[in-house]
Structures are given as C-alpha cells and as structure tokens.
Amino acid sequence: MVSNFPKIPSSLITPKEVWMNRRSLLAGAGAAAMMPALGTEAMAKLGDLPKLETTKTDFGKDLKPTAYDYVTGYNNFYEFGTGKEDPAANAHTLTTKPWTVKIDGLVNKPGDYALEDIVPKVVEERIYRFRCVEAWSMVVPWDGFPLADLLAKVEPQGSAKYVAFETLVRPEEMPGQNGYFQALPWPYVEGLRLDEAMHPLTILANGLYGEELPNQNGAPLRLVVPWKYGFKSIKSIVRITLTEKQPPTTWNIAGPSEYGFYSNVNPNVDHPRWSQATERPLGGGLLSSNQDTLMFNGYEEQVASLYAGMDLKVNF
C-alpha cells in the first residue's frame, strides 16, 4: 500500500438504494422526497443529449436494461466527487468538445487524434451487464465500437503486449481533482492485456440509450469491458499507449491487496472487506433481493479461454 495514500472510508463506496425512476416519480406525488440529490442544472441535462446514429446488435438482446435514471444518476467518477450522486450533480462543468486522444507507444501510426476521427459515424448498440465491485449491478445499453477497430488503425507493433489508458486532468472543471483531500492520484490510469483489448466484447463507448454519453458516465469516450468490474472502465479517455510491460492501474496502486490488475468478475474471489458471491441489481425496488454473481459477469463462454492455465485467485 502507498504510505501517503488517503484511505477511502467504506461509507463512500457502499451503495445506497435511495431513489426510483425519475420520470415516473415526476408524474406522481412525493417526487421531491424520493429523487436523487441532483442540482436543477444537472437534472435538466439528463435525457436531453443529442441522439446518436446507432445500429442494433444481438449483444444482450435478452437482458432487461436498467432505467436510464439509475444509469446516469448513480455513478463512480471520483473526479467529480466520491458520492454516487456527485458525478450527475457536478459533471456539467466538464467541456467535452473539442476532444483529442493521444495514441502512442508501440504503434506504427502514433498521433493526436480528434474524437471525430476515432468514433464511427454510426456506432453499435450493445446491451451489457455492468457489475461494480461494491456488489451492485446494472444492465446498460451502451453505444460504441470495438476497441480492436481503433487499435487496428494505429497498427500495434509486434512487441506490444498491453494497452494503457489515461483520463483527463482538468481540476478547474473536475472538482474532485482539487482541494485538500484527494480521493485518488491523478490522472486516473488503467490497462488491459492486448488480447483483452482486442477481444470483440471490449468497446469504447461514446453513448448510452441512443444518446451521447452524459458527462457523469465518462463523456466523451470511455472503456467498457463487460466481464470486468466497473472500475476497470476508465472514463473521459485522453491517452491510449501500447506497451510491452504491464502498466500501472489506479486502484491497484491505491490498494493492491483489494484491487488486482485483471479485475475479472469472480464470485469465488472476495474483496477483503465483503463477499463478491452475490450482487444487487439497481432498479429492482427497495425490497429486491440479491442474486448470485455470474463468473466473468455472465461472459464466461466468450472470455474464459483468455485466462486458461492462470490461477484466478492469484491473478485477480
């Protein structure tokens, strides 16, 4: 453990089932008492984003998506605060246009790429299960494109074995990056093995529910790896680097005994402070019960071969 790293109180990362679907509540009495603690400006931005051109896929066609309000109102994005409601309340300060992503390292075509040169005009809709390490889960209709498509364009070199990602640092727009208490070291960094990054399930998302990605969900570009815990899905990406060595990742730096590099959803490997064997789907109501956590978040058939021969309790 890094000795000067502030320990995050467990109260900041414990889920709170405190609100119901905003649109339904607005139609009835008692809405103000049950809604998330969002500011008026933030509330106005939910559901008012530009539409995307999308093509529907078969990914998750049998899953029931979580209500938009939960997906956009209950987030981990510490650059905007450590509370689950903080990102939706505070992320309106983020400027996402124009946006540039630096792609460098072991590629034949490095450069600073404008977002419009990275994201296809028509993106895919994929409905994925989304599991967070704090034992809550969602089903999210993500809009995006395979990370493999982007990597193919920049031509990884033969020595590349990992892909590293870096988030924006802009403390004047991201209140969690300034002040006395810093929840995490900035910039937020993450990484994948190259074969994980090239897997067809791995996407870069620029939207959800057919709309541009809201700021609190990681606009304008975030990683989505559905068989891993949610903290592996780095948001507001500004740099992608291909490297031969395993890159550092923020939560593994912060708590190496609690957060491994791989971060695969595994009901057989508990977090040191709680079990990962069950999860609570958001949006099921206050009386909804936990359900069993699925190995690799339900994507075992597609991704288990990536870890053949590995001890997943050691490589957690």
17/285 Cα distance (integer angstroms): 8
Stretch 120-134: mean pLDDT = 97
Q: Is 112 in contact with 102 (CB distance < 8 Å)?
A: yes
88 within domain boundaries: yes
- Give the percent of the chain with pLDDT over 70: 84
The tens digit of pLDDT for each residue in 224-283 reads: 999 999 999 999 999 999 999 999 999 999 999 999 999 999 999 999 999 999 999 998
Q: What average pLDDT does range 82-91 have in this prediction? A: 96
H helix or E strand, kind and range, residue 242: strand 237-243
Cα–Cα distance measured from residue 243 to residue 233, given in angstroms and rounded to the nearest whole number: 19
Q: What's the mean pLDDT when you consider all of the chain? A: 87
Q: Note whether residue 275 is domain-resident.
A: yes
Q: What is the pLDDT of residues 148-161, one digit of tens each?
A: 999 999 999 999 99
Compute CA distances 21 → 35, 36, 67, 153, 186, whole Å.
Answer: 8, 10, 7, 41, 33
Which value, in Å, is the radius of gyration of the alpha carbons in the chain? 19
What is the count of structural domains for the chain?
A: 1
Rounded to an integer, what distance in angstroms lies between the CA atom of residue 126 and that of residue 145? 9
> How confident is the model over 118-147, as a mean pLDDT?
97
pLDDT confidence bin for 78, thresholds 50/70/90: very high
Residue at 151 is within a domain: yes
281: preceding bond cis by omega (within 30 degrees) = no
At 36 the pLDDT is 46
In terms of residue numbers, what domain contains 123? 10-307
Whether residue 274 lies inside any domain: the answer is yes
Average pLDDT over residues 209-234: 98
> Is 1 contained in some domain?
no
Q: What is the enclosing helix (H) or strand (E) of 205?
A: strand 203-208
CATH code, 29: 3.90.420.10
Is 315 inside any structural domain?
Answer: no
Instruction: Specify if 314 maps to a domain.
Output: no
Q: Judge whether residue 294 has pLDDT over 90.
A: yes
5 in a structural domain: no
Between residues 259 and 287, the one the model is more confident about = 259
pLDDT of 4 strictly over 60: no
List CB contacts of 217: < 8 A, sequence separation 6 or more: 71, 72, 75, 77, 87, 208, 235
- Express each pLDDT in 7-54 by its tens digit: 333 333 333 233 233 333 323 323 333 334 444 444 445 558 999 999
CB neighbour list of residue 33: distance below 8 Å, 6 or more residues apart? none
The answer on pLDDT for 184 being more than 90 is: yes
Q: E strand or H helix at 291, and its extent?
A: strand 291-292
Distance of alpha carbon 142 from alpha carbon 123, whole angstroms = 10
- Residue with tokens 């709680």, as numbered in its chain: 274
